[in-house]
Amino acid sequence: MSDSPEQPDRISEAEHAVMEALWQRSPLTAQEVCEEVCGPRGWSLATVKTLLSRLVTKQAVGTEPDGKRFLYSPRIERADYLGTESRRLMDRLFGGRAAPLFAHLAQAEALSEDDLSEIEALLKELRS
């Protein structure tokens, strides 16, 4: 995956579902991707093929011929994608700062005791 783009075009929520299937196991055929995502979402194989085509155009997914079909694999790492999306969210909604994000989550009671303990441990680790 070293030839992956540094920052692919924005990935939609639907495309993200396809990426999750590929991050879990790849390479996959379009049919195999559909087996993972079509049922829960009510999608058809044609929908999955359209999403895969968009992801190939965005260079987030690569293809490899396998007889009369193609095998699809992610060209970006899940961790890299999450980092980019997290940064975009913070930039867009919280001026690029993490503290207001955590304050919002705490005020909305979206953080459990386990979440708070994990955050505290991460902060201690970062400071040492």
Question: What is the enclosing helix (H) or strand (E) of 69?
Answer: strand 69-74
| Ordered structural domains, the chain, with CATH | 13-76 (1.10.10.10), 79-127 (1.10.4040)
pLDDT 10s digits, 6-27: 455 788 999 999 999 999 999 9
Burial of 30 (0-12, 13-18, 19+ CB in 10 A): buried
pLDDT of residue 37: 96
- The alpha carbon of residue 65 and the mean position of all alpha carbons in its chain are separated, in whole angstroms, by 24
- The alpha carbon of residue 17 and the mean position of all alpha carbons in its chain are separated, in whole angstroms, by 8
Q: Which amino acid appears at position 61 of this protein?
A: V
pLDDT 10s digits, 45-87: 999 999 999 999 999 999 999 999 999 999 999 998 888 888 8
pLDDT 10s digits, 79-123: 988 888 888 888 888 888 888 888 888 888 878 888 888 888 888
63, 71 Cβ separation under 8 angstroms: yes
Burial of 74 (0-12, 13-18, 19+ CB in 10 A): buried
89 token code pair: 């969210």
- The alpha carbon of residue 51 and the mean position of all alpha carbons in its chain are separated, in whole angstroms, by 14
